[in-house]
Amino acid sequence: MEFEWDEPRNELNIQKHGVSFLSAARVFDGPVFTVIENRKDYGEIRYISIGKVEVTELYVVYAVRNRRLRIISARRANRNERRKYREIFP
């Protein structure tokens, strides 16, 4: 799986959420819970995946462009998102 992202956006994400896109890409090394992000029309299909990196569940927003996953945002999953993930992957 190949990943890409906008580096200035990555830096902003680190400042805001404390999560780098490089770390976020690691959620795909294990099981992930994925849904389509449909709250707004972004002009492309966006996905939300929740997965685990070491002991932390992360919430990752991305789009598929030219067969690459383009990471848009990443943060620690909130309590409800962690609960949902742990129900699916105990």
The domains of the chain, with CATH numbers, are: 3-88 (3.10.450.530)
Among residues of the chain, what percentage have pLDDT more than 70? 100
In contact, 37 and 50? CB cutoff 8 Å: no
CB atoms within 10 A of CB 55: 5
Residue 66: band (very low, low, confident or very high) from pLDDT cuts 50, 70, 90? very high
**Confidence (pTM):** 0.95
